[in-house]
Structure 1
Amino acid sequence: MASQSNSSFIPISEFLLICFPNFQSWQHWLSLPLSLLFLLAMGANATLLITIQLEASLHQPMYYLLSLLSMLDMVLCLTVIPKVLAIFWFDLRSISFSTCFLQMFIMNSFLPMESCTFMVMAYDRYVAICHPLRYPSIITDQFVVKASVFIVARNAFLTAPIPILTARLHYCGRNVIENCICANLSVSRLSCDNFTLNRIYQFVAGWTLLGSDFILIFLSYTYILRAVLRFKAEGAAMKALSTCGSHFILILFFSTILLVVVMTNVARKRVPMDILILFNVLHHLIPPALNPIVYGVQTKEIKHGIQKLLQRSM
């Protein structure tokens, strides 16, 4: 296909996003729960960020990391969901070439940024439980700054080649993306070139970043569990585990959603395309909606901070 004559090459300047190609009539009904989840995600994360900002008792490294997670969630939601809703409500399917690849970059980089944030938070809990006396000297504000720079730089640098490789492909006529989002493979399939390198790089980079994060998270919790089992004071083990409860729930939920997306894409021929598209959209919406709620319910300090915030506004 790459050897087509120049006369058949028609450069394109935009793509058309076709959500749920086999179930177009469902889109208006689906827009209602999606819009409610979007409002919940944005409102809950904004409330959490404001609470941490205004409540002096929450000016601690762990809550700064939680703020970073909320900001990543909000950017992911704003990158994906408004365009999906615009397609559902106003049939605005066109997306410019540059906007499509910007969306692709944010989706591919912010997902491993989240897993890397979870990894740093797991290390925070490991130090707090296994080395409590050294915690104030290890987990400092400076540590959070360095960790944040590492999270952003590592994942942005290693995932940047994905949209760059896709943008360098030749697109000769076909511009209809059978997806709600500019997913790498959905876009690259429209090209006239061989995109094997693109596909291999995404696979290797994705599993290297996410895999290394999950291995380190697993090791952190292995050491935490081993340390907790050695506690002899009554209630000490439960108290230590309770400090990890909300964080562990978020990691479990994040990894479960990610596993579902991966498995459905592996079984592409057995799973209807519309189900794959729905899972991809929900993966960018459900975790951001539930993350701040889990922390708000599980963490007393955040719960009290939100109560104070509501009392000030009344």
Structure 2
Amino acid sequence: MAVLVTGVAGFIGSHVALYLLGRGDDVIGVDNFNNYYDPSLKRARIRRVVDFAEGGEADADTVDLLAGVDATGKARGAFELHEIDLADRAAMERLFATRSIRSVVHLGAQAGVRHSLTDPFPYIDSNVTGFLTILEGARHTGVDHLVYASTSSVYGAVTDMPFNVSTPADYPLSLYGATKRANELMAHAYAHLFAIPVTGLRFFTVYGPWGRPDMALFLFTRKILAGEPIDVFNYGQHKRDFTFIDDIVRGVVAALDTPAEANPRWDGNAPDAATAGVPWRVHNIGNQRPVELMRYIEILEQELGARAERNLLPMQAGDVAETYADVDTLVAATGYRPRIQVEEGVRRFVAWYRRYYAL
């Protein structure tokens, strides 16, 4: 029996696969290697996963993460890769029908808040139709647990900080956020109809080595080293709950190991938006320490040994001024505790960036 990891060539997916393999789980990976950003980076991530599965040593960017893995006496897991688009219904049906899948970590999606304003259709194809193929596969094969990626973007217009999962999240400001909220509602329907344990994790600004080139840290690093100005939106008044990749991975796997259960005290007359009377849960997964964007840039400048020329701009459409995760429910359910603060996380990212691009 294996764990299916979708989006396995992605930033989070590749790290989750490494962690699972390190503790002895077999992993079936799915990715379509689309060109939303440089596919060569995705291929490089997969090479790391394959090398590790075949007995290679953990590299400098994952040695700390994997040092905490408890393999419980098992050998390293096996890995197989399938290049499939999640929206390809027939291909996904075949995959579920021909593989023994115990549980699912669904991380595959069309990412990017701003991109959803200019190219909306891939968000429906991947994030809605693609999620439906996962739910149907889980339904027909009886998986033990489905953990899927949601996002802090579901909070949208909510401004009460910190964001709490018991607060209704029905006011998204982007199509991306709307598709992820749709995932949460679809998951509830399947948990109700077919008793599938499902857990949604609302990610808060994940960063670190092997990250996404469309994210601020990657963009800022590239431009500062090239001597180009960086675009700083909302005139630098953003705050973000930056969460290091190692903390995210530990939280994802801890959630996977803790199948959602029905809340026996759930009351339809006074509903709790974080739980249900069926095996469905949502949790925030963040660092629980918002950092001002200007401070983030200062830390990056210190690590790069270079000053950034700041191009101060107004807020972008679909964006929010601040994010701040209340992670109490994830802590209570799994013992999750973020460990890496932003100074160390940025240092590790810069070290990786210089190695990867030979700078």
Compare the two structures and name the one with the higher helix fraction: 1
Q: Which has the greater radius of gyration?
A: 1
Report the TM-score, using the length of structure 2 for normalisation: 0.26
Report the TM-score, using the length of structure 1 for normalisation: 0.28
Compare the two structures and name the one with the higher strand fraction: 2
